[in-house]
Amino acid sequence: MVVISRRLETTCYCLFKFTQLTKLFSILLLLVAGLSHAAVLPEDRTDMLYHAYDGGGVEITGPSVLVRKGFKDTISFSASYYVDKVSSASIDVLTAGSTLYTEERTETGVGVDYLYNKTMLKLNLSTSTENDYEAETVSFNVSQDFFGDMSTLSFGYTQGDDVVMQNNNDTFREDKQTKRYRIGLTQVLTRKWIVNVVAESVIDQGFINNPYRSVRYIDSVANDGSITVGRQPEHYPSTRNSDAVAIRSMYRLPYRAAIRAEYRYFSDSWGIKADNFELRYIHPFKSNWSLEFRARAYSQNEADFFSDMFEYFDAETDDSRKEFRARDKEMSAFSDNTLGITVGYEFDDKYLPFVEKTTLKIYWDRIMFDYDNFRNWNLSIIGEAELGNEPFYSFDADVLRINLAISY
């Protein structure tokens, strides 16, 4: 009965969100129907990207390619290929008793943009595979410019159907489904100032947690007060409903420079609330170069059923969620701060008549993670800290991206 009740609750929530967003979108479309617009298709281009992440014992590298080509000013096709090569000796892996694991994720996608009358339609399909996870995603978006090209309204829906598996366990196979509803409005306020507001609602259902992670609990207490711990698998609810609202603003400064600010608020049915602030400064100089500086701050509280150390086996964390438990650091209270820089250079293509523009950009970000109630269990495992009183976990990560874009 509890499972049926939760599924019914999730179904009603999905229908409510879809109905409300559809009604709002229909009203807005009626308001703008018949007004002029100047929507244009994305430019024909090829993007080649190399990305690398290094932090917290995790290294991720890989290439990606995106090719886009338009026809007759009404339709544009795209195809993408993306690879993640992961090697990990993260805290989650070490506390699970392993030393290192490697895997590779490959994602392919196709898309089409269609400009019909006064509406831009976008459809994207993608598949992703790795040794213990498979994902299929379909995304649809519609947008329209109106009020003399000063406003853009958009509405979108994305559905993901995933299969979660477990290495060395052929009998483990669980389904996960994700539905995303979003609506956005972009408004040009002045010649120099533009604002964008986006609202998104997400419904996750199925096997949502990681099958490899476990929680720790106090197994016994000795006379001297020392403890021994046991471990058991995490257990998450089978549904998660979340909502987010973001507002972004860009303002043009003298000398072709610009400043961009963003705030995003997130909350979900697991009790997590998060705030994200971001500020960027973009400055072109000379005729071919550009620089971007950015800073980001993120913070969240923990999920209702998170605990770094449970008091006993199958411990109850909350009356309404007594059967659930989590020790994933992403479910804890934490914050991260990011500093980044981008250097861009546009090549002179006068010797390549079929190429309109070639741009090289190098992105680097430094991310600093600090966890408020997630302890570094690995230090007590290797004897460098007292069990249960380990220091709270923190680490820094570097993210590098190199992008070459050729427009033709």
Q: How many CB atoms lie within 10 A of CB 302?
A: 21
Angle at 218 between CA 217 and CA 222, to 5 degrees: 165
Backbone dihedral angles phi then psi of residue 7, each to the nearest 5 degrees: -65, -40
pLDDT of residue 101: 77
In angstroms, how far is CA 8 from the centroid of its own chain? Answer: 27
Measured distance between the N- and C-terminal CA atoms of the chain, rounded to whole angstroms = 59
Instruction: State the 10-residue block means of pLDDT for the chain, 408 residues long.
Output: 39 45 43 47 94 95 96 93 90 74 93 90 97 96 88 96 93 97 96 96 96 91 88 94 98 93 98 98 92 98 95 66 84 98 89 83 98 94 90 97 94
Cα–Cα nearest to 366, from 276, 262, 265, 293: 293
pLDDT of residue 358: 92
pLDDT of residue 97: 65
Token pair in block for residue 3 = 């499972």
Token pair in block for residue 227 = 């403890």
Domains in the chain, start-ordered, CATH in brackets?
A: 2-407 (2.40.160.40)
Residue with tokens 């600010």: 261
In angstroms, how far is CA 96 from the centroid of its own chain? Answer: 25
Cα–Cα nearest to 198, from 220, 182, 210, 214: 182
Q: How many CB atoms lie within 10 A of CB 367?
A: 19
Token pair in block for residue 314 = 């199958």
